[in-house]
Amino acid sequence: MNTKNKFRFASIIIFSLLLNITLKAQNYDEALIGEYTLPELLVTQNKKEVTTVEQWEKVRRPEILKLFEDHVYGQVPEDFDNIRFKVTHQDKKAMDGKATLKQVAITVERNRNAVTINLVMFVPNKVKKPVPVFLVINHRGMKTMDATRQNKDGFWPAEEVIEAGYAIAGFDVTDVAPDNKDKFAQGILEELYPEQLEMENGMRALGAWGWCASRAIDYFEKDKLIDAAKVISVGHSRGGKASLWHGAQDKRVAIAVSNESGNSGAALSRRNFGETVERITQTFPHWFCPNYRQYGGNEDKLPVDQHMLLALMAPHAVYVASAAGDLWADPKGQFLALKEALPVFELYGIRDTLPDEMPEVNRQIINSNTGFHNREGQHNMTPYDWQQFIRFANAYFKL
């Protein structure tokens, strides 16, 4: 080994050791979680109990939304001067005639600056229109959503979704906020909403990705092939955090699907299992508003926990998917958050129930407005997960 290689070898060893030490610092032991008290879902900041849909919608829901804005994800500005949709490519005989492919450039302008989002979409040909659509907030790049279908990827299994009678769409998050702590602003933040960058509760990457999904829905509302009242916002992991926040913000989302969104997604932060607020805000500071950092190692002070985010989907639907090998995302913490969210669905007369213990691996739970599964295997979004999403959507839309 020459000196250069020796140095490289030594650096790899030191790096792995350090990584190991840091990872060990995360807790994976149920016995070490300790006691925690979740913030009250149905008690207002004025200590009034919420017992009706009206109190929830007028007081508590806006309060919770604002708390998530101010302390976790930042605001989501909605104003812009202009939005334009241009179908840049269309093929009515895609997938051997089974689907229509549309590629749409969505251009949004504000204060004379513009950003363009590139939406890819397949719509099934044989089904009565308009159709429901799975919209993926995709952080894995366009290669996973190949319009030519030469490259097929289980992360975005378009053929299977078309076969099931749904449209599938997606965009690359890079179009609006690159997933990089030094470059995330090179999209809508610098171009359209620079003032957000100055604010402690300003929009950051996750909020920008959800904002982008809302612009896709703006397009669906204009496309006769799509049923814009049946949009399913899907994201995996960091994308899942964004899809939950998107669904909470945008009432046009019928179902929010969180696939292994974990910490700051579907998992309860106070459980201190797997990834923590401290760790996530250090590694991915660009995902959240700066205010969130103060809660690292200080979760008890957070005025929210993630069950409240899931509850914001009521009376629409939320689906939480986990993987048994993905302890980093805390499957049990995700399950418990969903269970803790149920009282808000109940306010609407939706009597969904969940068992006290997490269901066994690979057993799906389909309630009327909530669903869950914990599949075997590792961190990923797979065709198996998609089959469960489709079953849940079929039940929810009564298809």
Contact residues: ligand GTR, CB under 6 A:
237-238, 262-263, 275, 280
Name the residue type at position 173: V
Q: Which is nearer to ligand GTR, 144 or 263 (CB)?
A: 263
Residue 325 tokens, joined: 């090998």
Cα 332 to Cα 311: distance, rounded to the nearest angstrom: 17
Cα 121 to Cα 246: distance, rounded to the nearest angstrom: 19
Q: How far is the CB of 241 from ligand GTR (least distance, A)?
A: 7
Q: How far is the CB of 22 from ligand GTR (least distance, A)?
A: 12
Q: What angle do CA 89, 92, 97 make, to 5 degrees?
A: 135
Provide the H-helix boundaries in 255-379.
Answer: 277-283, 306-311, 331-347
Q: How far is the CB of 292 from ligand GTR (least distance, A)?
A: 13
What are the φ/ψ torsions at residue 258 (nearest 5 degrees)? Answer: -105, 115
Q: Which is nearer to ligand GTR, 187 or 265 (CB)?
A: 265
Q: How far is the CB of 314 from ligand GTR (least distance, A)?
A: 25
Q: How far is the CB of 261 from ligand GTR (least distance, A)?
A: 7
Q: Which is nearer to ligand GTR, 201 or 261 (CB)?
A: 261
Q: Which is nearer to ligand GTR, 121 or 244 (CB)?
A: 244
Which residues fall within 8 angstroms of residue 275, CB to CB, at 6 or more apart? 26, 262, 263, 267, 328, 329, 330
Sign of CA dihedral 204, 205, 207, 213: positive
Contact between residue 225 and residue 129 where contact means Cβ atoms under 8 Å apart: yes
**Catalytically active residues, by annotation:** 237, 379
Q: How far is the CB of 238 from ligand GTR (least distance, A)?
A: 4
Name the DSSP letter for residue 70.
Answer: I
Cα 146 to Cα 170: distance, rounded to the nearest angstrom: 10
Q: Which is nearer to ligand GTR, 176 or 314 (CB)?
A: 176
Contact between residue 371 and residue 353 where contact means Cβ atoms under 8 Å apart: no
Order of strands, sheet of 167-172, starting from the edge strand that comes earlier in the sequence? 82-93, 99-110, 113-124, 167-172, 131-138, 226-236, 253-259, 317-323, 370-375, 365-366
Q: How far is the CB of 255 from ligand GTR (least distance, A)?
A: 20
Contact between residue 167 and residue 98 where contact means Cβ atoms under 8 Å apart: no
Cα 26 to Cα 276: distance, rounded to the nearest angstrom: 7
